[in-house]
């Protein structure tokens, strides 16, 4: 499902989406919603959107805020507001997510052709995903997130499926001359074989329930807090939230060989199933979802290549070596998808 284009700002006249997003515009945007910034700006590590830590002058002693400027033409206003509403719904149930702040009765704001939202700053470190107790703790909160995610469906955000993440990614790359001529056929053959494997995995799993997800639940989007009144994990960045199978929010927490991943999965599910039932048929989708993410990631980089931040941050992309490695990766995924599912499902 494609989000409706009810309010999709065009890219800037300079041809790149953030060409005019300088410090003055950022500070003016904050002032437009009644804030008094102190002039301190710190760009944070984000490429899809632009995210800044902003110092606040009034009231005295106010903590910095996080300002997120959304990429033009990606999400509609309605889709962004659905994400905000879901995070607020979770926060209202004391689930540790970082939800957008409501200012002047709104969470999404517009200024000078840009859309932005403000968030409280949350500190923390990366979680220790090799630790059983940490995984179980994260699993408990994921179970709570999914229990709420089942209550209603998204209406304006797309689903994670083989069409949008798989076939669309393959076709876009083949249609935009990113692949070297001598690797075009080998990559296409590997992608086709991988997508056939994905389709078979979804057929074996059957009709699994889809719910509102975090969507990008890897260790970088979980901040671990050791202090304060709410120690433990805090889930950030719901920008990729969409409808999909529950296992999408679990598999990115797993790493290592099959034995290690099975142990880690058992630890996550030990906490998860305290709050939400898990359909073991979804375990047949772990390698299929990994395959879709690999294809989508290459297409994401290619689609963003006109943004100057991307060639600077990903200089290894679109080299001959890059595409050779992707061919091998997809071939390995074909083999992985043919193996039995994790945890004996």
Task: Report the side by side order of strands in the sheet with 50-58.
Answer: 36-43, 50-58, 65-69, 114-120, 109-111
Give the C-alpha separation, 110 to 29, whole Å.
8
Cross-strand pairs, 116: 69, 109
Query: Which is catalytic among the residues 77, 161, 237, 239?
Result: 237
Query: Which is catalytic among the residues 216, 239, 249, 267?
Result: 216
Task: Let me know: does 202 contact 210? Beta carbons within 8 Å.
Answer: no
CA 30 from chain centre, in angstroms, equals: 25
Cα separations (Å) of 70 from 77, 115, 245, 278?
10, 6, 26, 33
* The pair of three-digit structure tokens given for residue 271, joined into one six-digit string: 């906490």
Task: Let me know: does 183 contact 318? Beta carbons within 8 Å.
Answer: no
- The yes-or-no answer on residue 189 being catalytic is no
In terms of phi and psi (left: phi > 0; alpha: psi -120 to 50; beta: otherwise), the region of 343 is left
Residue-wise over 327-336: b if at least 16 C-beta within 10 A, else e?
Answer: bebbeebbeb
DSSP 18-82: TTT--HHHHHHHHHHTT-EEEEEEEE-S-SSSEEEEEEEEESTTPPPEEEEEPPTTTS-HHHHHH
- The yes-or-no answer on residue 216 being catalytic is yes
Which residues have a catalytic role annotated?
Answer: 216, 237
């Amino acid at each position: 499902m494609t989000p409706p284009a009810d309010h999709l700002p065009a890219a800037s006249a300079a041809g790149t989406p953030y060409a005019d997003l300088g410090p003055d515009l950022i500070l003016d945007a904050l002032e437009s919603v009644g804030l008094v910034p102190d002039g301190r700006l710190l760009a944070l590590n984000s490429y899809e959107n632009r995210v800044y830590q902003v110092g606040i002058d009034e009231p005295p002693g106010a903590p910095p805020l996080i300002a997120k400027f959304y990429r033009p033409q990606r999400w509609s206003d309605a889709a962004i507001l659905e994400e905000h509403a879901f995070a607020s719904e979770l926060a209202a149930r004391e689930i540790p997510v970082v939800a957008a702040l409501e200012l002047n009765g709104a969470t999404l704001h517009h200024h000078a052709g840009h859309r932005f939202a403000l968030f409280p700053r949350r500190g923390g470190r990366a979680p220790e995903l090799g630790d059983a107790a940490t995984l179980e703790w994260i699993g408990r909160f994921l179970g709570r997130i999914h229990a709420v995610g089942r209550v209603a469906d998204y209406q304006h955000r797309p689903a994670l499926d083989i069409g949008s993440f798989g076939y669309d990614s393959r076709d876009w790359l083949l249609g935009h001359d990113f692949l070297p001529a001598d690797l075009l056929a080998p990559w296409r053959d590997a992608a086709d074989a991988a997508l056939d494997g994905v389709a078979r995995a979804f057929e074996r799993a059957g009709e699994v329930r889809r719910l509102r997800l975090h969507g990008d639940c890897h260790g970088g989007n979980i901040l671990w807090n050791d202090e304060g009144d709410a120690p433990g994990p805090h889930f950030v960045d719901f920008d990729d939230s969409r409808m999909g199978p529950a296992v999408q929010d679990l598999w990115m927490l797993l790493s290592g060989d099959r034995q290690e991943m099975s142990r880690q999965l058992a630890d996550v599910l030990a906490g998860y199933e305290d709050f939400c039932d898990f359909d073991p048929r979804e375990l047949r989708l772990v390698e299929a979802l990994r395959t879709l993410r690999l294809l989508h990631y290459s297409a994401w980089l290619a689609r963003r290549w006109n943004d100057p931040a991307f060639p600077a941050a990903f200089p290894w992309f679109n080299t001959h070596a890059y595409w050779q490695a992707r061919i091998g990766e997809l071939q390995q995924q074909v083999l992985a998808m043919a193996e039995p599912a994790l945890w004996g499902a």
